[in-house]
Structure 1
Amino acid sequence: MERTIQKKLAVDGDSWVAVDVYGEPDAPGLVIVPGVMSDALSWRQVVDAIAAWQSVVVVNRRGRTPSGPLTDSYSLRTEVEDLGVVLDEFDSTRALFGWSYGGLITLLAANDRPIPQVLAYEPVMRPFGRHAVPDLKSAAETADWDRCVEIVNRQISGFSAAHVEDLQADQHGWAALRRLSEPLYAELGALNAAPPPDVMARQADQVDLIIGQCNRGTAPYGTSFDDVRQHVAHAAVHELAGQGHLAHIQAPAELGHLLNNLAAI
């Protein structure tokens, strides 16, 4: 599916959200909400594999180029309201898909308005990553983005030092991760600042939660997934074989095909 347009939408707090639109903008479609350390470009290969919807809108959440700043009033509620602006603009949306923090945002958005289908890959919720917030705060205050990338990979995701060294060896990729880490402290703080409601996706007709097989029942992503599951009473659970949290990078075609198979249209 080819990108048709990129559009900027004004949101509260003198900021804006840019979206990449693939396919026919006015056709019934899917809206994708990435999580932390991710932007719309990171989802290009997944979009290539999606065929079940006539359009795909990928959100660049605020805090990442070419969207606007987080602003001082930023919170988890800010993210939900920003997504509401996107849904108002693309009112033929048939499904929401969120990854990680983006998964939580989509589930909360479906409390505010009716959504035919919500899909979420390893959504996370409080207290995810709370232990790393003080170190992220120190790194962000000194603009030490290398340290921020190390913290999210080592202290939060639990990857090895060798994994981080491999990431650093790719100078272009590491530079992208440094940029994506700039809003990380504020995002993780917002995630942990306000408890989610007792029920999520209250107004969704269908909810499909997806977990990578490698993370089933293991911290941090599998255990946070289990916490989210307790708040979505009517969700179906699906597993992506052989994958962990980064399926959109390591197995984009497989993830796209799974979304096609789950599409309720």
Structure 2
Amino acid sequence: MEQTIQNQRKWSVSGGSWVTADVYGEPDAAGLVVVPGAMSDAHAWRHVATALDAWPSVTVVNRRGRTPSGPLTGGYSLRTEVEDLGLILDKCPGTQALFGWSYGGLIALLAANDRPLRQVIAYEPVMRPFGSHVLPDLQAAEERADREATVEIVNQKIAGLDAAQVETLRADPQGWADLRRLSRPAYAELVALNAAPPPDELARRADRVDLIIGQCNHGTAPYGTSFDDVRRRVTRAGIHVLPGQGHLAHLQAPAELGRLLNGLATAR
């Protein structure tokens, strides 16, 4: 049965900021916590969340830096994200599984170094030195508050889209406006991602780890090669390939991604 959104939650976090989450299914039941990555928010994951029925509840986090959550605040770092997620997990006792996408996947895997978790699932998690080559360009765009340039840099110089594909994105006024809005924390997040070396082992306190990669990115830079870097740091991980998909499966094939995630839950 398709899950429906039941309520929104809000928690205070460090630096005077706050984070929110959309909760689907039974709001008081233990279930799955979803951590989106950069250039994404809880709203972008709504079609995946409604396709998930293997857990009684699905809590989709709006990380700080995206509306309606609060600002990144001074001293923002990857550790800030892990601490925010730890607070959310404290407020969602009995969480059955934690799922993260991209930058959110790294955050989830690091959280499983801090605390025991039953299951961690990560879709194409990224880690240092992912995207480091565009930091000067993103910094220049940030100093000009040029959101157009930020979106173009992320999509062309990181994701590898060509100019025609970017123009196709721009042709959708609402979609382009959403990308501009979501690009606000992109530079700070990429700085944080590359600021500190990752630990030798990830998710060391998780009972089970499942790593997912889209078939189109398998072994291909930047997402496939970063995935391989992560995989080398996760022991005993199950590896799963989503056929015909790339990094944006949550937007392009939410039902297929939902079925894969449901299958991983029932395989516990």
Q: TM-score, normalised by structure 1?
A: 0.99
Identity of aligned residues (%): 70
Q: 2:195 aligns with which of 171, 193, 196?
A: 193
Q: Which runs of 5+ in 2 are unaligned?
A: none
In the other structure, the counterpart of 2:148 is 146
Q: 2:245 aligns with which of 243, 246, 260?
A: 243
Q: Supply the distance in 1 between the matched residues of 2:248 and 2:162 (Cα, whole angstroms).
A: 15
In the other structure, the counterpart of 1:165 is 167
Q: Does 2:87 correspond to 1:79?
A: no
Alignment-mate amino acid for residue 30 of structure 1: L
Q: Supply the distance in 2 between the matched residues of 1:26 and 1:116 (Cα, whole angstroms).
A: 19
Q: 2:49 aligns with which of 47, 50, 65?
A: 47
Alignment-mate amino acid for residue 85 of structure 2: L
Question: Displacement, 1:92?
Answer: 1.9
RMSD of aligned C-alpha atoms?
0.7
Give a deviation string over 1:225-255, Cα, whole Å, max 9, x none.
0000000011110000000000000000000
In the other structure, the counterpart of 1:209 is 211
Contact 1:26-1:92 within 8 A present in 2 as well: no
Contact 2:78-2:193 within 8 A present in 1 as well: yes
Question: Displacement, 1:71?
Answer: 0.5
Q: Supply the distance in 2 between the matched residues of 1:185 and 1:72 (Cα, whole angstroms).
A: 14
In the other structure, the counterpart of 1:184 is 186
Alignment-mate amino acid for residue 256 of structure 2: E
Question: Displacement, 1:25?
Answer: 2.0
Q: TM-score, normalised by structure 2?
A: 0.98
Structure 1 stretches of 4+ with a deviation exceeding 3 A read none
Contact 1:25-1:90 within 8 A present in 2 as well: no
Contact 2:38-2:189 within 8 A present in 1 as well: yes
- Matching of residues 13-162 of structure 1 within 5 Å: 13-162=15-164
Alignment-mate amino acid for residue 42 of structure 2: A
Question: Displacement, 1:120?
Answer: 0.3
Alignment-mate amino acid for residue 158 of structure 2: I
SS at match of 1:125: coil
